[in-house]
Structure 1
Amino acid sequence: MTIELSEDIRAAAIASIQRYFDANMDEPIGNIAAGGLLSFFLEEIGPAVYNRAIADAQESMQARIVELDIDLHEEPFQYWRKFEAPRRRK
């Protein structure tokens, strides 16, 4: 699966890479080089991040599904209980 970014997100990511290089590296990186580096990361590392995110979402959804019976459980055959007199304790 190819991970694609919108033009706005891609431009912001490239600007962030350039800022990182300016702050942390001896030489700045140009727009084209930063775009190439971003493409490399998306293709090489992006799937690992994506797969982890999917696994986290799946785990979260499974935990919620397990709790459905607790959260949404209704006792059957409750109609007659509303007519029963409360029993007194001795």
Structure 2
Amino acid sequence: MSIELDKPDRQQAIESIQRYFSENMEAPIGNMTAGALLNFFLEEVGPSIYNKAVADARARMQARLDDLEFEVQEDVFTYWRKFDKARGKKGQG
């Protein structure tokens, strides 16, 4: 699965790369070179970041599911306990 950015995000990323080079490197970087560098990082590093994000989302969802089981758990076989309690009797099971 390739990671792609929509056009506005891609343009903003390229501009950010160009600014980074302008402020931190000895030579500025052109639009095409910044785009090629972005493509490299999306292809080379992007899948690792994506996989980590999916794993984090999965863990968070699993935690929510675990909470859900606790929150919606209902006691079973309670009819007779309620009935016996209403009549002042001790339940038999």
Same fold (TM over 0.5): yes
In 2, the alpha carbon distance for the partners of 1:36 and 1:79 equals 72
Q: How far did 1:79 drift?
A: 8.5
1:23-58: CA deviations, max 9, x gaps?
Answer: 100000000000000000000000000000011011
Question: Where does structure 2 lack aligned partners over 5 or more consecutive residues?
Answer: 89-93
Paired position in structure 2 for 1:84: 86
**TM-score (ref. length: structure 1):** 0.84
Displacement of 1:78 in angstroms is: 5.4
Tell me how many residue pairs correspond in the alignment.
Answer: 86
Instruction: Determine the structure 2 residue equivalent to 1:24.
Output: 24
Deviation of 1:21 after TM superposition, in Å, equals 0.5
Measured in 2, the distance between the counterparts of 1:85 and 1:17 equals: 77
TM-score of the two chains, using structure 2 as the length reference? 0.81
Which structure is richer in relative contact order (CA contacts within 8 A, separation 6 or more)? 1
Q: Secondary structure of the equivalent of 1:5? A: coil
In the alignment, structure 1 segments of 5+ residues that lack a partner are: none
SS of the residue corresponding to residue 4 of structure 1 reads coil
Runs of 4 or more consecutive aligned structure 1 residues displaced over 4 Å after TM superposition: none
| Same amino acid, percent of matched pairs | 49
| Alpha-carbon offset, residue 64 of structure 1 | 1.2
For 1:81, give the aligned amino acid: K
